[in-house]
Amino acid sequence: MMKVFAAGFLAVATLASCGAQSLNGAGATFPNPIYSKWFYEFSQQKGGVKINYQPIGSGGGIRQVSDGTVDFGATDGPMSDEQINSAKVKTMHIPTVLGAVVPVYNLPGVNKELNFSGDVLAGIYLGQITKWNDPRIAKDNPGVNLPADSIVPVYRADGSGTTYIYTDFLSKVSNNWQSSVGKGTSVKWPTGIGQKGNEGVAGMVRQTPHSIGYVELIYALQNKMAFGTVKNAAGHFVKASTQGVTDAAASVKNIPADYRVSITNAPGATAYPISSFTWLLVPVHATDPNKSKAIKGFLEWMLEHGEGEASSLSYAPLPAALQTRIKATINTIQ
């Protein structure tokens, strides 16, 4: 199986019509496993374009594409109006796939899958819930013998779209979190240990007993980590799955023209509540027309071939109607 946790991935991708081109991108670690697979397969099927993608986090991706130091960026947290207005390079958001963020934990002696309410997760990261046998955790997990050990929260230290998704969810389910911390790719964490990348959080939780963290679903599955179910807006504890993510996306009836939309805490009995789109950030007007052709060629290939592979890495493909809209948007890239 392809290793999906590489620090970077150099893929040779291609468009015969564009001639030899080199594209440099940077950003989110959340979609890096599927991007690595796509770039590799695109390179095998076509020829002439080299794509170098560095998974440095959504914050870095937004910054670099806005400054024009990369040809495209990637983020799981859409750019704010302020970021869009201040960017040197004007970009468009292109949705690529959907994914889930899951609460992973390392709790020796507890073999039963744990349930987490949103207010409990917020309480843990606010430093208000400090012991695993806290009555609020016990209430969601009847019959589980929870230890009295202290909880070790782990969070993303870098600018992170995964953090944006997680804190966006917490802001919707906890007034206390919304008023004291809020949402963003970077926030001021009240407590815990910071780590870089989904890989860093997963690694710290794996090696630290009694810890809890949050990572994209594929990282939990690849590392064989325990992750809990999360209480959704309908009051059901739902385990993350591609179907649960698809159900969350289906609940959003009006996606704006710029595709910047949140689907956390979506309604519906089966919707997984910490779900999100992830986006490529593509310049509206590239300085090199051949690079524009290369980017458009990859995006078209992604919709025609890549979406069908999303579920193999535990992502959900874009809804068919949305793919049709995106094809039209891709044609406007100049």
pLDDT digits (tens, 9 = 90+) for 236-262: 999 999 999 999 999 888 899 999 999
CATH code of the domain made up of 9-99+276-330? 3.40.190.10
Measuring CA to CA, how many Å separate 134 from each of 38, 131, 137, 270?
44, 5, 5, 27
Report pLDDT for 6.
40
Residue 318's SS3 state is coil
Q: What angle do CA 80, 9, 99 make, to 5 degrees?
A: 50
Average pLDDT, the chain: 92
Q: Is the pLDDT of residue 289 over 50?
A: yes
pLDDT in tens, 37-73: 998 888 778 777 889 999 999 999 999 999 999 999 9
The rounded distance, in Å, linking the Cα atoms of 25 and 288 is 15
pTM: 0.90
pLDDT in tens, 215-241: 999 999 999 999 999 999 999 999 999
Give the residue-averaged pLDDT of 145-169.
Answer: 96
Contact 210, 147 (CB under 8 A): yes
pLDDT-derived band at 21, boundaries 50, 70, 90: confident
Sign of the Cα torsion 124, 126, 130, 136 reads: negative
Report pLDDT for 89.
95
The rounded distance, in Å, linking the Cα atoms of 265 and 157 is 24
For 324, list phi and psi in degrees, rounded to 5.
Answer: -65, -40
Q: Is the pLDDT of residue 23 over 70?
A: yes
Strands (E), 188-305: 193-195, 211-216, 226-227, 229-231, 237-238, 275-283
The rounded distance, in Å, linking the Cα atoms of 147 and 108 is 9
Sign of the Cα torsion 211, 217, 219, 221 reads: positive
The rounded distance, in Å, linking the Cα atoms of 328 and 334 is 13
What is the secondary structure of 271-305 as a DSSP string? --SSEEEEEEEEESS-SSHHHHHHHHHHHHHIIII
Measuring CA to CA, how many Å separate 102 from each of 118, 172, 203, 213, 274?
12, 16, 15, 8, 7
Residue with tokens 């013998």: 145
pLDDT-derived band at 20, boundaries 50, 70, 90: low
User: Which residues does residue 14 pair with via DSSP β-bridges, in sequence order?
Assistant: 48
Q: Is the pLDDT of residue 7 over 80?
A: no
Report pLDDT for 253.
83
Give the residue-averaged pLDDT of 180-202.
Answer: 96
Q: Kindly state the percentage of the chain with pLDDT values over 70.
A: 94
**CB-count exposure of residue 108 (10 Å: 0-12, 13-18, 19+):** exposed
Q: Kindly state the percentage of the chain with pLDDT values over 90.
A: 84
Question: CATH 3.40.190.10 residue ranges in the chain?
Answer: 9-99+276-330, 100-250
CATH code of the domain made up of 100-250? 3.40.190.10
User: Which residues does residue 92 pair with via DSSP β-bridges, in sequence order?
Assistant: 282
